Amino acid sequence: MITCQDILELHLDGVELIAGEKGLTRPVTWTYMVQTRPFEEHMNQGNFALCVVDYVRFDLEEAQKAMEELYSLGISGFGVSITDDKESVPKEMIDKANALQLPLFYIRWKGASFVDIAQSVGKIILEYEMQNRRMGDYLYNLLFGYDINDRYIEKISQQFGINFTTPCRVGIIVADRKYGINLEQDEHIYEYYPMRRKTPCFSYGDIRRVHRIYASN
C-alpha cells in the first residue's frame, strides 16, 4: 500500500515534512482538497488532505481545527500551504500533529502546486494498484493455471522479486460470495520445495492437487 512515507520520498519541490514523523506509515488512498464542511461528505478514510490558508475560508487557526477534525475522520496526512508564505506554521499546530502522530507537510506557496501533488500521489497509487493486480493474476495462474511453464515462472517471478530458491508456502482463504471469508474450513497451508535450475517449483500435479482441494471447500 502507499503511505505518507511514499509521498515524502517523491521529493516534490517545496514540500517539507514538519511534524508527525511517527505516522509516516499511515496508508494513503487518495488526495482530498479541504474546502467546505461537512468534511465527511467530501472525503474518505485514508485521504491525504491539502489545505490552503487563504485568509478567506481558512486562516491558520481554522486550518488547525480542520486538521484535527479530519484526523478524527481518518485522514492519512495533512498538507498546508499559506498564501504568499505570509506566516510560518504555528508551533501549536506542529505540536498537535506530533501528538496525533499525523504527518504534517508544509507546502511552499511557490513550490509544487496542489495539482502537481495530487497528480503525483494519484500516479503512484494507480501504479501500486496495477502492480497488485498483476501480482494477483500471476499468483492465480501459478496456482490454478494449466498452461504455465518453467520459463514463465522464472521470468515473471523475477519481475516481482519472488525467490523460489527456498521453500515457499501458499495459504488459501476462500471468500464465500454470500457469507464472506470462510475461516473455519480453509486454514490449509501447502508447502512447496526449492526450485532447481531444471526443476519446476510447482509441478502440474501440485497445481491440480491444490485446485481440487480449493474447489472441494
The domain locations on the chain are 4-123, 149-216
pLDDT greater than 60 at residue 189 = no
- Report whether 119 contacts 52 (CB < 8 A): no
Residues 57, 38, 1: CA angle, nearest 5 degrees:
100
Distance CA 192, CA 202 (A): 7
- Give me the percent of the chain exceeding a pLDDT of 70: 75
pLDDT greater than 50 at residue 111 = yes
Residues whose CB is less than 8 angstroms from the CB of residue 26 and which lie 6 or more positions away in sequence, other chains included: 3, 4, 46, 76, 77, 102, 103
Distance CA 195, CA 205 (A): 15
Query: For strand 188-192 and strand 180-181, is the pairing parallel, antiparallel, or unpaired?
Result: unpaired
Domain 4-123 has CATH 3.40.50.10790: no
Task: State the chain's mean pLDDT as an integer.
Answer: 81
pLDDT greater than 80 at residue 172 = no
What's the one-letter identity of residue 86? K
Task: Note the pLDDT tens digit of each residue in 8-30.
Answer: 999 999 999 999 999 999 999 99
Banded pLDDT at 175 (limits 50, 70, 90): low
| Predicted model pTM | 0.72
Upstream peptide bond of 194 is cis (omega within 30 degrees of 0): no
- Report whether 62 contacts 43 (CB < 8 A): no
Give 203's DSSP letter: -
- Give me the percent of the chain exceeding a pLDDT of 90: 55
For position 53, what pLDDT does the model report?
96
Distance CA 65, CA 57 (A): 12
Distance CA 80, CA 103 (A): 11
For position 206, what pLDDT does the model report?
52
